[in-house]
Amino acid sequence: MVKKIAIRLLKLHYKRKVAKSVASYQEPLRVNKKTRLTSNTHLKSNANFNGLEIAGNGTVTIGNNFHSGRGCLLITANHDYDHGDAIPYDSQRNICKSITIEDNVWLGDRVIVLGGVTIGEGAIIQAGSVVVNSIPKYAIAGGHPAKVFKQRDIRHYETLKVQGKFT
């Protein structure tokens, strides 16, 4: 009983920290593990975090019914290595790129997403993957770099979507 109360309080603490740190969010918002988002983050309804960090100051937009696995990382900035004042890179200048994650996306554990990427509606990204290019709607992708290896059953997906069956 005491353990359950402690877990609920910890989740509430994580949620409050996330809610204060982002540009915008919609309820419900669930934060089950330590999650670090930025002031350039926009969350739609029913975002579920199980430990995600955003690095950099690029804009991140996350759609409805998002789920992240543990230890996910979204990287929105990179050092300027082509036009900087030092080698191997200019530590003073960053290049920021946005990340867009559309509705009903699920990131498995320890997924890394790089700036400039859009993950399409209904996509699933396999655990341990590194997403360096955009992923289309309904795709199931994985690997390093992540590649589409399967497609969701779109008819079944659309049926569940119309029925409002979201986790």
Tokens of 73: 């990382």
Specify the 3-state DSSP secondary structure of 17.
helix
By the 8 A CB rule, do 71 and 109 touch? yes
Sheet containing strand 139-143, edge to edge, reads 29-31, 47-49, 67-68, 106-107, 124-125, 139-143, 146-151
Q: Which residues contact 7 (CB under 8 A, 6 or more apart)?
A: none
Q: Give the active site residue among 67, 79, 83, 156.
A: 79
The verdict on whether 79 is a catalytic residue reads: yes
Tokens of 60: 């991140």
Tokens of 130: 């590194």
Positions marked catalytic: 79
